[in-house]
Amino acid sequence: MFRELMTYNQAKKLIFNEINPKPLGNEKISLIDAYSRILYEDIISNMDIPPFDRSTVDGYAVIAKDTFAAEEISPIELKVIGEVKVGIYPKIKLKKGEATEIVTGAPIPIGADAVVMVENTQKQKNRLFIYRAVTQSENIMKKGADIKKDEIILKAGKILEASDIGVIAALGFTSVKVFKIPTIAVISTGAEIIEPGKALIPGKIYDINAYSLSAAILDSGGKPIILGVVPDDEVELGKTLKKALISSDIIITSGGVSVGPKDYTPKVINSLGKPGVVISGIAVKPGKPTTVAVIGNKPVFSLPGHPASALLVFYLIVSPIIQRIAGRKLISEKKVIATLGSRLFSAKGRKTYVTVKLSRDKNQKLIAYPIKSGMSGAITTLSKADGFIEIPADQQFIDSNEKVIVTLLKNKKV
Amino acid sequence: MFRELMTYNQAKKLIFNEINPKPLGNEKISLIDAYSRILYEDIISNMDIPPFDRSTVDGYAVIAKDTFAAEEISPIELKVIGEVKVGIYPKIKLKKGEATEIVTGAPIPIGADAVVMVENTQKQKNRLFIYRAVTQSENIMKKGADIKKDEIILKAGKILEASDIGVIAALGFTSVKVFKIPTIAVISTGAEIIEPGKALIPGKIYDINAYSLSAAILDSGGKPIILGVVPDDEVELGKTLKKALISSDIIITSGGVSVGPKDYTPKVINSLGKPGVVISGIAVKPGKPTTVAVIGNKPVFSLPGHPASALLVFYLIVSPIIQRIAGRKLISEKKVIATLGSRLFSAKGRKTYVTVKLSRDKNQKLIAYPIKSGMSGAITTLSKADGFIEIPADQQFIDSNEKVIVTLLKNKKV
């Protein structure tokens, strides 16, 4: 039995061409809920910030020129004509020889062009002695110094962080337009799969993929909907897929796509619409049986049943599509360079992905230890892995002590 | 005016001693909602996984010894006595000379100890020809190979990732105990502060801190409650603080703690309970006016009004406390080594923090460019900053081209 499999790069290109992933549009949400959401449109400043010249210290607003002669041993004297408070625009106008009391954050009164710090003054009733000269604009934050009106301050596509939320609040906005979150249906297939919470019947195992994939979907910026386990039943699978096509933007199934006699998933998918299955099998290990289909404009990914394989293929192939639809600029994966801890062999003629655990040796050198799992089904390999390395299809092995590039799995810290 | 300020290290130690931050206990939540939450107790396996010996390939379950003579040019012959399906525990018992059809994931029937891949066989009715010998256990995933019963598979304190959620599902659990999320009240003070969404009166500026701090609280594992802006009014501040003490685990105020005449926040806090203010002022720049109090067992942090200072002090002092109460093992900050892009001066006698922007030069060398902001109030410096560097209190400057350690601000990628 020989079948020419598509290479990973061919598959990746074809997937993007066939699916042509595009964001779903925007929704307006409260600024309080906007943390970690993705900005839909540029934020353009509607005003100068600060909106007026402000004092950055507590002291006295003055005309700088009046203070030029001031020295520690020979202070100059000004007349205090009033007090400027924060939050109220002052009506006072300063003339030569005059000063006003002012506090941090308060508007600079008309006529004044500098502020003397309280530490450099002495006051006797309304007589103010200044012991240090100030230059023009000293201790003043100018109107528009931080943000100018009509300036683009945040670009569409930005993942909103704490400081960005602050910047939007500074402009007086209470809501913000962000990209809509795509909904991803998750279907597990297989006669041996049983939902967690139910009693375990001999011969069956609990569903893992629905849960691990759902968490990975959240990680990629999507909203998962678990549609449960579909047993070995074509009709049932067809019904569930139809439901998924209505309720979600992307569909992920797992299981039922290897070479066993019961693998009717591709057939059922093809019966639901055009163009149907566009990729059946990719020359990667693990992940060979991966099938990709498009029904109307909705992508359907059928991943291997083995949990570790399913999750790795998810990150390789599905996550970039979800991220694009979620409005993220395509994120370059986080990679680190490490030294391989032991010799690794590839799967003949297939690009091979090997999960690794990272740790530092005595000399702080970063070492990548391949995680040994005879079976790609091993669940615990998932939790142990910090990332994975690639062995090209035309390379037979990588030697111990060679430098390798490790693509980090999400949320892993080195 | 001279006041001996506490150093940053003294303050940090005192804060941990006075507050003694402890997690709030646990809550049981659905596994579907558990992504990125923190595990409250060790997860101990309640069963072997897989719960039975499984085939890892499609083919025929056999007795390995029967196949030892098999070769490409001289196959051995076995009798097919039945078929093992996935999801059903087989009643068949294999005897010498017998084989059963089997698919990936199906239980190994009693008597069999290996599986021959379908590719290495040929079947004529119930006569099976095997062209390749298998060794004992070949193509079998043994019961408990992945997880053994009573094994600790996830440790308390782990932030749950996609793969961890999968592991918990594998054990059949649908819910999981996680640490409770602390509630953090956020109060902005100052006569010049107005809530976003309202019309801007001359002399006033929009509240930034409530929003940027709320997002940073989410980032640290807490749940923010914005209690709004309290104008310049002791009674009003007292009322709002009392409300906050009832409804939340930690209280953060911003503004109203510099040396101005209106700074009654410490006085009001002291009137609410013991021990009251434990730190007033820390020798850091920015952040000098930071005040820390404890009322009963609840910490009250009073941060500077300037948005950039408030957020930096939040990450330095408040975030570690929130993370500890949220159940996170104290996370060591993410640091990178970079080359300083221009000479930097410290604030005399105070540990100085300078925000920097990171970028790579032609040779891929990581350069840290100090963000110039004459005023710590500059909002946009927040958005530009990738991290910050520290200048020790006893050091006057760091020269351009020197190596510096940059502590990354959350969510920033290099």
Q: Taking the C-alpha atoms of A86, A89, A91 and A92 in order, what is their torsion angle to the nearest 10 degrees?
A: 40
Mean of the pLDDT values across residues A359-381?
A: 74
B148 lies in some domain: no
Q: A274: distance to nearest CA of chain B, Å? A: 30
Other CB atoms within a 10 A radius of the CB of residue A395 amount to: 13
Residue B286: cis peptide before it, omega within 30 degrees of 0? yes
Report pLDDT for A307: 86
Minimum CA–CA partner of A146 in chain B? B378
Give the confidence band of A333 by pLDDT, cuts at 50, 70, 90.
low
Nearest of B295, B317, B37 to residue B180 by alpha carbon:
B37
A214 lies in some domain: yes
Interface test with A, best of B89, B211, B348, B408 (most A CBs within 10 A): B211
Which one-letter amino acid corresponds to residue A115?
Answer: V
Report pLDDT for B51: 92
Which tokens hold the place of B26? 């646990």
Report pLDDT for B259: 44
Which tokens hold the place of A366? 């970063």
Range name among A67-81, A247-261, B95-109, B184-198 with the lowest pLDDT average: A247-261
Whose structure tokens read 């500890």?
A: B324
3-state secondary structure A87-99: CCCCCCECCCCEE
* Domain match, A42 and A156 both: yes
Report pLDDT for B269: 92
Summarised one tens digit per residue, pLDDT across range A14-24 is 988 988 899 99
CA distance A189 to A351: 26
Cβ–Cβ of A161/B215 closer than 8 Å? yes
Report pLDDT for B378: 65
Domain boundary residue, one of A284, A304, A325: A325
- A31 chain-B contacts, CB cut-off 8 A: 196, 211
* Domain match, B172 and B186 both: no
**What's the mean per-residue pLDDT of chain A?**
88
| ipTM passes above 0.90 | no
Angle, helices B162-170 vs A209-219, to 10°: value is 160
Q: Residue B246's domain is classified under what CATH number? A: 3.40.980.10
Domain boundary residue, one of A306, A325, A344: A325
Whose structure tokens read 């619409």?
A: A273
A115 lies in some domain: yes
**Separation of CA B305 from chain center:** 28
Nearest of A232, A298, A304, A297 to residue A268 by alpha carbon:
A232
Which tokens hold the place of B352? 């100085």
Mean of the pLDDT values across residues A193-220?
A: 93
Report pLDDT for A266: 86
- On the question of pLDDT at A276 being above 60, the answer is yes
Minimum CA–CA partner of A175 in chain B? B197
Whose structure tokens read 């503004």?
A: B255
Domain boundary residue, one of B118, B150, B179: B179
CA distance A243 to A252: 13
B159, B328 in Cβ contact below 8 A? yes
Report pLDDT for A327: 93
CA distance B354 to B387: 8
Report pLDDT for A1: 36
| Cβ partners under 8 Å of residue A332, min gap 6 | none
A270 lies in some domain: yes
Which residue range is the domain that position A356 belongs to?
335-408
Q: Residue B65's domain is classified under what CATH number? A: 2.170.190.11
Nearest of B218, B236, B206 to residue B314 by alpha carbon:
B218
Range name among A41-45, A188-192, A363-367, B237-241 with the lowest pLDDT average: A363-367
- On the question of pLDDT at A85 being above 50, the answer is yes
Please report, for chain B, how many H helices and E strands are present, in that order. Answer: 9, 28
Nearest of A69, A77, A75 to residue A99 by alpha carbon:
A77
A169, B211 in Cβ contact below 8 A? yes
* Domain match, A76 and A87 both: yes
* Domain match, A113 and A161 both: no
The torsion region of residue A338 among left (phi > 0), alpha (psi -120 to 50) and beta comes to beta
* Domain match, A198 and A264 both: yes
The residues of chain B scoring below 50 in pLDDT are 1-2, 258-259, 374-376, 411-414
* Alpha-carbon torsion (B262, B267, B271, B274), positive or negative: positive
Report pLDDT for B162: 87
B152 lies in some domain: no
Nearest of A187, A194, A262, A229 to residue B104 by alpha carbon:
A262
Closest CB from B164, B206, B377 relative to A383: B164
Cβ–Cβ of A206/B171 closer than 8 Å? yes
CA distance A378 to A382: 8
* Domain match, A321 and A373 both: no
Q: A266: distance to nearest CA of chain B, Å? A: 18
Q: Residue B397's domain is classified under what CATH number? A: 2.40.340.10
* Domain match, B40 and B73 both: no
CA distance B18 to B20: 6
CA distance B362 to B289: 41
Nearest of B387, B414, B407, B222 to residue B333 by alpha carbon:
B407
Closest CB from A51, A153, A226 relative to B32: A226
Cβ–Cβ of A260/B103 closer than 8 Å? yes
- A50 chain-B contacts, CB cut-off 8 A: 205, 377
Closest CB from A51, A58, A162 relative to B215: A162
CA distance B67 to B74: 11
CA distance A308 to A299: 22
* Partners of B340 in the β-ladder: B368
- On the question of pLDDT at A120 being above 80, the answer is yes
- For chain B, the domain total comes to 4
CA distance A102 to B91: 91
Task: Give the DSSP H/E element, type plus range, for residue B73.
Answer: none
Burial class of residue B21 in the structure, from the number of CB atoms within 10 Å of its CB (0-12 exposed, 13-18 middle, 19+ buried): buried
Nearest of A302, A309, A312 to residue A276 by alpha carbon:
A302
A180, A27 in Cβ contact below 8 A? yes
* Domain match, B202 and B307 both: yes
Q: A282: distance to nearest CA of chain B, Å? A: 18
Report pLDDT for A104: 86
- A226 chain-B contacts, CB cut-off 8 A: 32
* Domain match, B92 and B113 both: yes
* Domain match, B128 and B268 both: no
Report pLDDT for B327: 93
Q: Residue A41's domain is classified under what CATH number? A: 3.90.105.10
Report pLDDT for B411: 46
CA distance A190 to A260: 11
* Domain match, B304 and B352 both: no
Closest CB from A106, A169, A259 relative to B196: A169
Give the confidence band of A413 by pLDDT, cuts at 50, 70, 90.
very low
CA distance A265 to A271: 10
CA distance B230 to B187: 7
Written as one string, the DSSP assignment of B115-139 is EEEGGGEEEETTEEEE-S---TTTT
Report pLDDT for A8: 80
Report pLDDT for B265: 84
* Partners of B100 in the β-ladder: B61, B82
B310 lies in some domain: yes
CA distance B292 to B285: 16
Cβ–Cβ of A163/B211 closer than 8 Å? no
For B47, phi then psi, to 5°, come to -165, 170
* Domain match, A171 and A226 both: no
For A306, phi then psi, to 5°, come to -65, 125
B413 lies in some domain: no
Count of CB pairs separated by less than 8 Å, A with B:
305
B153 lies in some domain: no
Interface test with A, best of B58, B104, B119, B148 (most A CBs within 10 A): B104
Burial class of residue B275 in the structure, from the number of CB atoms within 10 Å of its CB (0-12 exposed, 13-18 middle, 19+ buried): exposed
